[in-house]
Amino acid sequence: MLKLSKMTDYAVVILAEMASLDGQLLTAGALAQHTKVPEPTVSKILKLLVKQNLVASTRGSNGGYTLSKSPNDINMAHVIMATDGPVTLTACVESSGQHCDLSDNCNVKGKWNPVNQAMQNALENVSLQQMIGGRA
Amino acid sequence: MLKLSKMTDYAVVILAEMASLDGQLLTAGALAQHTKVPEPTVSKILKLLVKQNLVASTRGSNGGYTLSKSPNDINMAHVIMATDGPVTLTACVESSGQHCDLSDNCNVKGKWNPVNQAMQNALENVSLQQMIGGRA
DNA sequence: TCAATTAGTACCGTTTTAGTACTGATTAAA
DNA sequence: TTTAATCAGTACTAAAACGGTACTAATTGA
Nucleotides of C under 7 A from a protein CB: 3-10, 16-21, 25-29
Distance CA A42, CA B14 (A): 42
CB contact under 8 A, B101 and A36: yes
B7 in reach of chain A (CB within 8 A): no
**Structural contact between residues A130 and A79, judged by C-beta atoms closer than 8 angstroms:** no
Mean pLDDT of chain A, nearest integer: 92
Cα–Cα distance, B95 to B81 (Å, whole number): 13
Nearest CB to A3; choose among B90, B108, B131:
B90
β-strand partners of B66? B56
Residue whose C-alpha is closest to residue B21's, from A107, A15, A22, A27: A107
Cross-chain Cβ contact B132/A91 below 8 Å: no
pLDDT of B78 above 90: yes
The CATH architecture one would assign to domain A6-131 is Orthogonal Bundle (1.10)
pLDDT computed for residue A23 by the predictor: 81
Q: Which run of H or of E encompasses A15? A: helix A6-20
Which of the pair, B52 or A101, is modelled with greater confidence?
Answer: B52
Taking the C-alpha atoms of residue A86 and residue B118, their distance in angstroms, rounded to an integer, is 19
Of the candidates A111, A105, A99, the residue with the CA atom closest to the CA atom of residue B32: A105
- A17-61: pLDDT as tens digits: 999 998 899 999 999 999 999 999 999 999 999 999 999 999 999
> Distance between CA atoms of A82 and B117, rounded to whole angstroms?
22
Banded model confidence at residue B52, pLDDT cuts 50, 70, 90: very high
The fraction of chain B above a pLDDT of 90, given in percent, is 80
The stretch A49-77 carries a mean pLDDT of 97
- Provide the β-strand partners of residue A127: A75
Give φ, ψ of A75 to 5 degrees. Answer: -120, 165
Q: Is the CB of A12 under 7 A from strand C?
A: no
pLDDT digits (tens, 9 = 90+) for A91-102: 888 777 777 766
What does pLDDT average to over chain B?
92
| pLDDT tens digits along B80-125 | 999 999 999 988 887 767 777 666 668 898 899 999 999 999 999 9
> What pLDDT score was predicted for residue A135?
60
Q: Is B96 helix (H, G, I), strand (E, B) or coil?
A: helix
**How far apart, in Å, are the Cα atoms of A29 and each of A39, A43, A44, B58?**
6, 8, 12, 61
